[in-house]
Structure 1
Amino acid sequence: MKAILMTMRGWSQSARTRCAVTLKHAWGAATLFAVLIPVVHAVAADAPLTPEASAAKMAAEQLMTAKIEWRGPSSSPKPLAGKRIAVVSCCEAADGAARASRAMVEAGKALGWQVNVLDGRGDPQEQNKALNSAIDAKYDGIVLEFVDTTTVSDGVARALKAKIPLITLGTLKNTPDTIPDVSWDYAKHGEALANYMIWKSNGNVNALILLNTDLYVTRNGQWVGTKNVLTDPKKCKDCKVTVKEWPMANIDTQPGSIATAALQANPKINWGWCFDACMSRVSRALIASGLSSKMRGAGFDCNAESLQLIKDGQVEAVCAADPREWDAYAVIDNLNRLMQGQPTVNQGIPVRLFDKTNISTLSDYEMSHGWQGGYDFRAAYRKLWGVQK
């Protein structure tokens, strides 16, 4: 019998106006000890998989072995030099956002552009303030990075009225829908994670979903994909799901405390689910609380810290990846088109699933910077743009 529970965690208004500085690998002695503790709830090596788990295994493995090739544009207009671009980031304390911001600065530099990052600090009011400041400063183009257009609607209206080219990264659906977005298959990410959990638990999934309230794409992308699988009795008749919500402004504290309390209240929970900037914090909290062996984590983004957690067997067991730096170059390419009055194009962003069995395919650079897509996209875009390093 399925169980889906939803709770809304309260938070103060003041909490929404700050985004704490990202903690960098604050492990301590508890981490060293946790390396030696095997994670429970794994399927026994000789246990036969149920038909549902076998089907889930096949589906998950497809995303672990898919061939990566260039499916992006074959041509691009010559870049206009000397442009000033503002990137309004949802929250730079989240590494998935910070990776894209850094790469947009890098790509812009190759084109002779000045790219400035404005941190929205996990707060829609701060994001709207940043957007309006970019409009006032008369930037040549503006990028909204994981910022829902409906939460900054007055700034969006001003940008469009001022005829400033506006593009988004990772928002799935924009208002108005004439604003172009660079995205990938979010639902496929979510489906793959659900199938992986079913496979590795032989259909016995009791998942804690840590659902962010600010990211439209997470709620309507990855979560939809995961939910559609875990709540389908034909795919997992015994799956149980508990949903806990939290705001981006509380990323440094709330996901970890929610997970710790949930495990203490219900020891039958065997999986946790959220994007990697959240999952890495959950992992730290469980390690510090001595609960690292009680739950496995399924994340998405495959940031460097999460890749190391997976490699070391510390809570997070799997992550669904998009090459975030590739995403950023794709945004810059489409923004160049917009500023020249040309339509944007499908950038063909690939996706992949990583666990301990295939993480060895990543280079040392990817382990320290996140998955790069298995292709030299930087060289491909530089060739399109006619520029050197």
Structure 2
Amino acid sequence: MTAAVVMMTLAGCATGATPEGAATQERSAEAQAALDKAYAGLGGDLELPPADVADDVSLYVISCGESNSGCAEGTAGLVEGGKAAGWDVEVADGKLSPEGFATAIRQAIAAGADVIIPMGFGCMAAQAAFKEARDAGITIVGGGGPDDCDPALWDAVPQWLEGTSFDEKWALYGQLGADWAYGITEDAPRAITLTHTTNGFGPLITDGFVTEFEKLGGKVVANVDVTDPEAASGSFIQKVTTALLANPDVNVLQIPGGGFLTGGLYQAIAQSGVEDLTIVVGGPSDTTTLDLIRSGSNAGITLGAVGEATRWAQWASVDTAIRVLADQSPAYSAQPMVVVDADNNLPASGPFDGGDWESAYLASWGKG
């Protein structure tokens, strides 16, 4: 029997079709359509054929960096999923640098790992170490990043929706963020973008945002490149605030992931006294990002974020590893991806989670 979760219509799960106060705010039909698209989001039905879970498996989760809230929350989801499958799970901290990624992978190799899941970074960021892991016979499954090595070194990456490639999914983060930012901004939208350059998916998010934003009629006036080491040191914050000061007519700031915003950038912007700035996290958004939205603490900033059911996605990485070990094809995870703001799609606490999907995974693993 196939374990299945049927998704609710995502447009119906929004707490309102427009933000609070919209009755007195005139929007163009195009802006309203963009908002409606952002709030409805994307996703599908979770259908999971039974999977044969191997026993006595050692899983190493390689965190992109436990000091980053997004990396840490994603790692915790992978640990939770691995333990739910009955596996022994360890974490190695990649410390937000390619050197750290490689060291952590080699730690897993030395420990005799059966499976490695890199959380939040791609193959090219640590190609030599991944080649060593593959040569050691370790199964490697993506945990959010792409297998962008040539030739490919990983055994699989999770599948999201049928007909949507891995690259297209990352571009959709940016597109949904652009839809919301364009629709919510009352004046002529002018944006600064951030591009996360350490990993291959960073440019995909930014390119998706720019393409959609400019198609709708917005203008991107500047871009700031940010690396993982800059995020770890906090040095990127000065680069972003300098760009904002140099472009006082900008009213939209696009951030490629929640960890960048909550790693000191939001506080710096809020303390600068900026007014009328719309910030959209057009990439994975963790609990701390949603906590900022829930706090509503800065009147000069309007904050929205692309909320993906990330715990669901992390369990999907574990599910993919289970099926690879059993010589089964990966299953489509279909988790929802929607824009969250103070009045739409915002859970009372915690991350955006997407409903009851755990029971479907546990049932398919014979653990229900």
- TM-score tier by shorter-chain length is 0.7 to 0.9
Aligned to 1:85, what secondary structure does the other structure show?
strand
User: The residue matched to 2:330 in structure 1 has which SS?
Assistant: coil
The answer to whether 1:261 aligns with 2:247 is: no
1:182 aligns with 2:158: yes
Match of 1:6 in 2: none
Aligned-partner Cα distance in 2 for 1:350–1:96: 18
Task: Give, in angstroms, the shift of residue 294 of structure 1.
Answer: 4.2
8 Å contact 2:293–2:341 — kept in the other structure? yes
Retained in 2: the 8 A contact 1:309–1:316? no
Q: 1:306 aligns with which of 289, 293, 313?
A: 289
2:166: which partner in 1?
Answer: none
Q: Give the TM-score, by structure 2 length.
A: 0.82
2:157 is equivalent to residue 171 of structure 1: no
* Runs of 5+ consecutive residues of structure 2 not aligned to the other structure: 1-20, 161-168
* Aligned-partner Cα distance in 2 for 1:76–1:241: 49
Aligned residue-pair number: 331
**What does the per-residue CA deviation read over 1:1-24, in whole Å, with 9 as the maximum and x for residues that have no partner?**
xxxxxxxxxxxxxxxxxxxxxxxx
Residue 250 of structure 1, CA deviation: 2.4
SS of equivalent residue, structure 1 residue 182: coil
Aligned to 2:123: 149
Q: Tell me what 1:114 maps to.
A: 88
Q: Distance in 1 between matches of 2:309 and 2:153?
A: 25
Q: How does 1:280-295 map to 2 (within 5 A)?
A: 280=262, 281-291=264-274, 293-295=275-277
Of residues 328, 332, 351, the one that matches 1:370 is 351
Distance apart, 1:109 and its partner CA: 1.8
Q: Percent identity?
A: 21
Using a 3 Å threshold, how does the CA distance of structure 1 residues 240 and 331 change in structure 2: closer, same or farther? closer
Shift of 1:187: 1.5
- By how many angstroms is 1:173 displaced? 4.3
Q: For residues 37 and 254 of structure 2, what CA distance do their matches in structure 1 show?
A: 20
The separation in 1 between residues aligned to 2:332 and 2:152, in whole angstroms, is 16
Alignment pair present for 1:208 and 2:192: yes
For residues 210 and 118 of structure 1, what CA distance do their matches in structure 2 show? 28
Give the Å deviation of 1:67: 8.1
Q: Take 1:188 and 1:268, find their aligned partners in 2: how far apart are those partners?
A: 27
Alignment partner of 1:321 is 2:303: no
Q: Is 1:279 the counterpart of 2:261 in the alignment?
A: yes
The 3 A distance-change label for structure 1 pair 140 and 240 is closer
1:382 maps to which residue?
A: 362
- Give yes or no for contact 2:123–2:146 (8 Å, CA) kept in 1: no
Spell out the pairing of 1:71-86 with structure 2 (5 A cutoff): 71-77=46-52, 79-86=53-60
SS at match of 2:273: coil
- Aligned residue number for residue 164 of structure 2: none
| 1:97 alignment partner in structure 2 | 71
How does the TM-score come out when normalised to structure 1? 0.78
Structure 1's unaligned 5+ residue stretches are 1-41
Counterpart residue type for residue 271 of structure 1: V
Contact 1:64-1:352 at 8 Å conserved across structures? yes
Aligned alpha-carbon RMSD (Å)? 2.4
Preserved contact between residue 279 and residue 297 of structure 1 (Cα < 8 Å): no
CA contact (8 A) 2:97 2:229 kept: yes
